[in-house]
Amino acid sequence: MSGTEKALQGVADTLREFWAHRPVRPRAGRKLGGVATGIALRYQIDPVIVRIAFVALALSGGVGLPMYLLGWLVLPEEGDEVSPLESLTNKGHSSMSQAQTVLLGILLFPAFAFTVGSGGFQVFVTLAASVACIYLLQKNRGHLAPATLAEPPPVTPVPGAPAWDPLGAAPFAWDLPEPAPRPQPPAPRPRKPRIGLATLGVATLVVAGSAIAGIWSPWFTAPHVIGLVIAVLAAGLLIGSFTGGGRGLIWLLVPLSVVGFGMTTISFDGPTDFGDLKATPKTLAEVKDKYEISVGSLMLDLRELPDSGSVKTTVESDLGEMVVHVPKNADVTFRCEASSIGELNCLDRRADGSTVQVDGTDLGADGEGGLKIDLDVLTNVGEVRVLRD
């Protein structure tokens, strides 16, 4: 077996060991589903760090949300035989009902589809870093026994018993003097690894490399670069949680995550990028080449246009509902598409599911002639309707 094959075999063995002794979601001390708390207890690290890492991953291309939902489905709850997902296949009992499990599974698909559809290369890097962190956790701390949130009950000393015999097991020797404490040598101060400095160095290299790569590729915009830096900081925080260092990265990670989330969600060109957008042009000249919104509801009403001429427009959204009303007698050539997941109803042509599209030409009630409309309605995740009324 070659060195590469041995290394791959070692990685596979570590991941199998992780699955065999995966974290258990506790019933106490959790904030939502217990995924972050279960990971923290399994590897004896601070639960706050794991929660912050999930939030950072959620703001870095949205990866944290599907990862958390997946952990909720595949990690068993304390006291259960199997995970909720395994319970659906009758492998054992889970306290989560099958209806709740199916609902979580339904939520997982649009969350993952939206993440993959909107993040691109950034999502791939973040997922790879997350898997690497899980591998390192199992490799370095998989041998540890899971911690517990419950404290052992205190020992109640017997009245009159000396400190060295709090249970009063040897009353015949109570008159002996207390033993002098044994002097202990001073404990050496552990040398913490400089995870924080190393992570900042990698983040600096990412920024510099992105600036150079931006000369050839338009993908390396400010929001994407910030997302890559957030992924690096989150990975450094997770590594530092079990090597003893890097906690100071929180003070950079949190504000940077907020800035990155704002830059990817809110457009600074106008207020219509987030919320509701309604447009009712009355002349052909008023029809824009494109109507777009990031998240929200978009309604375009073309019913007040004149009965002759031609017009072409595109309606586009990342997440939400889009409705286009066309005149009763207009000749409409249309293309409706949901690139990740959605529901389409365009002039009675329907489709729903992942990566769906409908197109065609509808001549209206009067047949060919009159106003001609060329229409593209595109969404990433959402509902699309083109109605003639």
Render 213-253 in DSSP notation, one character per residue: HTTT-TT--HHHHHHHHHHHHHHHHHHHHHHT--GGGHHHH
205, 235, 265 - which closes a domain:
265
Distance CA(347)–CA(243), nearest Å, equals 60
Complete DSSP assignment for 200-222? HHHHHHHHHHHHHHTTT-TT--H
**Number of domains forming the structure of the chain:** 2
Same-domain pairing of 261 and 285: no
Same-domain pairing of 123 and 261: yes
Q: What pLDDT shows up at residue 70?
A: 87
Is this structure's pTM higher than 0.75? no
Q: What pLDDT shows up at residue 268?
A: 40
Q: What pLDDT shows up at residue 303?
A: 93
Q: What pLDDT shows up at residue 91?
A: 85
| Within-domain flag for 176 | no
Q: What pLDDT shows up at residue 257?
A: 67
Same-domain pairing of 377 and 276: yes
Distance CA(281)–CA(103), nearest Å, equals 41
242, 265, 288 - which closes a domain:
265
Distance CA(174)–CA(361), nearest Å, equals 100
Q: What pLDDT shows up at residue 335?
A: 95
Q: What pLDDT shows up at residue 270?
A: 40
How many Cα neighbours within 13 Å face the side chain of 59?
A: 24
| Within-domain flag for 165 | no
Same-domain pairing of 209 and 335: no
| Within-domain flag for 174 | no
Distance CA(321)–CA(68), nearest Å, equals 26
Q: What pLDDT shows up at residue 120?
A: 55
Same-domain pairing of 25 and 129: yes
| Within-domain flag for 156 | no
Same-domain pairing of 253 and 311: no
Same-domain pairing of 351 and 241: no
Mean pLDDT over each residue of the chain, to the nearest integer: 77
Q: What pLDDT shows up at residue 326?
A: 94
| Within-domain flag for 354 | yes
Mean pLDDT by 10 residues, the chain (389 residues): 69 79 86 86 83 75 80 90 86 84 76 63 70 80 72 52 52 53 59 71 82 73 75 73 64 68 48 71 94 87 93 90 92 91 90 88 88 93 88
Same-domain pairing of 233 and 316: no
Distance CA(200)–CA(193), nearest Å, equals 14
Same-domain pairing of 250 and 355: no
Q: What pLDDT shows up at residue 151?
A: 46
What range does the domain containing 93 cover? 12-149+193-265
| Within-domain flag for 163 | no
265, 292, 323 - which closes a domain:
265
